[in-house]
């Protein structure tokens, strides 16, 4: 689990890169590089206020993947207050 001050979603990742998605820590935030198709799905999930999971890592490997989860919560007491 990584806490971040901000999140940047970059929808310019090419399918030919061999990655499902990439996540990098940038200063005190998180940058997630995703394909244009995933970006459209993310935008729709945000409009609909639905949870969304982005799987990061290479397409062809069976290695452990990283996940970026966007979750809507009812109780804000359990979230980061800063």
Statement: residue 12 has pLDDT above 60: yes
- Report yes or no: 70 and 51 within 8 Å, Cβ to Cβ: yes
77 pLDDT tier (thresholds 50, 70, 90) = low
- The pLDDT assigned to 79 comes to 59
In terms of pTM, does the model score above 0.85? no
Q: Is 75 contained in some domain? A: no
pLDDT tens digits, one per residue of 29-61: 999 999 999 999 999 999 999 999 999 998 887
Q: Give the range of the structural domain holding residue 57, as residue numbers without chain letter.
A: 6-70
Q: Is 1 contained in some domain? A: no
Per-state percent for the chain, helix, strand, coil, to nearest 5: 20, 35, 45
Q: Is 58 contained in some domain? A: yes
Q: Is 81 contained in some domain? A: no
Q: Is 82 contained in some domain? A: no
Query: How many Å apart are CA 8 and CA 23, to the nearest integer?
Result: 10
Secondary structure class of 16 (helix, strand, coil) = helix
Mean per-residue pLDDT over the chain, rounded: 87
Instruction: Specify the CATH number for the domain of residue 33.
Output: 3.30.1360.220
Statement: residue 13 has pLDDT above 90: yes
């Amino acid at each position: 689990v990584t806490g971040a001050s901000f999140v940047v979603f970059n929808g310019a990742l090419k399918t030919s890169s061999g990655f499902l998605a990439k996540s990098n820590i940038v200063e005190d935030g998180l940058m997630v590089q995703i394909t244009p198709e995933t970006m459209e799905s993310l935008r729709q999930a945000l409009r609909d206020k639905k949870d969304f999971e982005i799987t990061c890592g290479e397409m062809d490997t069976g290695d452990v993947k990283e996940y970026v989860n966007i979750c809507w919560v009812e109780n804000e007491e359990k979230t980061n207050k800063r």
